[in-house]
Amino acid sequence: MAPEHATGLGITGGTVMFRPVWLLVAAGLCLSLEGCSNEVPRTVAAVGQTTAAVPQHAPPASKATSRPAVVSQQATVPTREKSPFIVLAGGDGLADDHLVANLATALERNRLHLRLERSKGPERDLLTLLNNPSIDVALIPTDAIESLPRQVRAGAHERLRYLFRVPSQRLHILARIDITNIYDLNGRKIDIGQPGSGSYLTARLIFDKLGIKPEFTTSDQATAFQHLRSNTIQGMVLLTSETSKEVLAFEPGGAYHLVPISFETIASPLEELIVHYAPSQFTAEEYPNLVDHGHPTDTIAVSRVLALRNWPEGNAHYERLADFNEALSTYLFEGLLKSADSGTNPAEQALGWKRFRPTEILLARRAQQAEEHRAFEEFTGAQGACPLPDAAARERLYNDFLAWRKARGQDQEPTGSGLN
């Protein structure tokens, strides 16, 4: 879990300052704007701090050097161009291709490159990540770890870390209308996808844990749709992070529907497996032929992450992946890893998995910056005596304030738990 950040005391790098102190300074800065004119001066006389090249403040309570600082220190040293980052992905078809393209764009903007290795299924991908050092990152459903042999699974949690969450995949069970819930699949013939696929893995895990014993078939998706229409099978399972065009095109008429899966009903029987899943829904807007208007169909979503090996800090692989993490950070919260269907927040914790340390630092830093900016905007907006003319002026004043606070934090000794 990402380290907690102080929101009420303004804790930065071991120095503790109560927010009222810096809010008063903000007022002083505001009053220094030459009678609240529209022009922010290049220097702020009240604190004697220029606005040029405001340094990026370090993450709270961390000994790690920020990645931007490392880059700037090495900028004058000629280095070989980094080899492409190898990402193992593609199990979700076009959705994953789009995600990989976004990752590649973020890396290219930082003069880094990506090479895609096609997924061979969650279990094989996970074993490849664990055993092949040339693979940098793999897009993995978190329940894949449950498929590993018991003796391998025991140490896998410590050998793996993750960067961010990516759009989850929702579990679709398309079946005949007489199958009203997941337990009605007991004894029925259903297709769970080809061996090694995500649907195959997740279906077997869930049905086994729930004590449901269908008769499984394992076809490609197109064949499974044909078998369902011909009543050769009574249901089929698929996973996708976006609305499935194949399911969307399924003919109306009331003979088929998406089987509801109540998260609350299955949570207890799934026991420790439930950390990999979350409640979700299908709506009539998505699947008008299969879901009644005004009555969404409950289902579950399978959590997925960008996973990597837990290399020791200082190792060349660790530093390489820290660069990968930093390159994504600028674009992370601009829709890079989000999906309109899943609404996944990349900063959310993936339960049961540990996050890569540089990512923890990055998220803590961003959370601290967001809190500081929110409090600063709230303060300046509440004063009334000094309305700032536009967003650019507010940003310049805010940067002046951060520069002042950083300089003051460097000058003062840590004061312990607070000031009287």
DSSP SS3 for 217: strand
pLDDT of residue 335: 56
The β-bridge relationship of strands 85-89 and 114-118 is: parallel
Distance CA 182, CA 307 (A): 31
Return the percent helix, strand and coil in the chain, to nearest 5: 40, 15, 40
What is the DSSP code (8-state) at residue 64? S
Token couple for 340 = 């309109």
pTM for the structure as a whole: 0.72
CB 193 within 8 A of CB 221: yes
pLDDT of residue 332: 64
Cα gap 199→122, rounded to integer Å: 10
Burial label, 88 (beta-carbon count in 10 A; 0-12, 13-18, 19+): buried
Distance CA 318, CA 420 (A): 42
| SS3 assignment, position 336 | helix
Q: What angle (nearest 5°) sits at the alpha carbon of residue 335, between those of residues 287 and 355?
A: 105
Q: What is the distance of C-alpha 177 from the center of its chain?
A: 36
What does the CA dihedral 71, 73, 77, 80 come to, rounded to 10 degrees?
-20
Other Cβ atoms less than 10 A from the Cβ of 315: the count is 11
Q: Do 241 and 284 contact (CB within 8 A), yes or no?
A: no
Give the DSSP letter of residue 333.
Answer: I
Q: Give the model's pLDDT for residue 292.
A: 87
pLDDT of the residue at 312 = 95
Spatial distance between the Cα atoms of 338 and 332, rounded to a whole number of angstroms: 9
Per-residue pLDDT tens listing for the chain (420 residues): 434 333 333 333 333 343 444 444 455 545 444 444 433 333 333 323 333 333 343 344 333 434 433 333 333 334 456 899 999 998 888 889 988 998 999 899 889 999 999 999 999 999 999 999 999 999 999 999 998 888 888 799 999 999 999 989 999 999 999 999 999 999 999 999 999 999 999 999 999 999 999 999 999 999 999 999 999 999 999 999 989 998 988 877 778 999 999 999 999 999 999 999 999 999 999 999 899 889 999 999 999 999 999 999 999 999 999 999 998 876 665 555 554 445 677 888 898 899 999 999 988 888 887 777 777 777 666 655 455 566 677 677 777 767 776 776 644 443 333 333
Query: How many angstroms separate the CA atoms of 68 and 110, rounded?
Result: 12
Q: Report pLDDT for 415.
A: 39
What 8-state DSSP symbol labels residue 116? E
Helices 316-329 and 67-74 pack at an angle, to 10 degrees, of 110
Encoded tokens for 371: 């809190």
Sequence-distant (6+) residues with CB within 8 A of 111 are 81
Q: What is the CA radius of gyration of the chain?
A: 26
CB distance 316 to 133 below 8 Å: no
Under a CB-based contact definition with an 8 Å cutoff, are residues 11 and 18 in contact?
Answer: no
Q: DSSP letter at 355?
A: B
According to DSSP, the β-strands at 43-44 and 85-89 are: unpaired
The Cα angle at residue 124 between residues 123 and 130, in degrees rounded to 5: 95
Domains of the chain: 1-54+358-420 (no CATH), 85-166+304-357 (3.40.190.10), 169-303 (3.40.190.10)
Adjacent-strand bridge partners of 76: none
Find the distance separating the first CA and the last CA of the chain, reported in whole Å: 32
Question: How far is it, in rounded angstroms, from Cα 413 to Cα 140?
Answer: 45
**For residues 215 and 187, is the Cβ–Cβ distance under 8 A?**
yes
Instruction: Report how far residue 301's alpha carbon sits from residue 305's, in angstroms, rounded to the nearest whole number.
Output: 13
- Distance of alpha carbon 220 from alpha carbon 225, whole angstroms: 9
Q: 191 and 165 in contact (C-beta within 8 Å)?
A: no
What is the per-residue pLDDT for 359? 92
The pLDDT, as a whole number, for residue 56 is 40
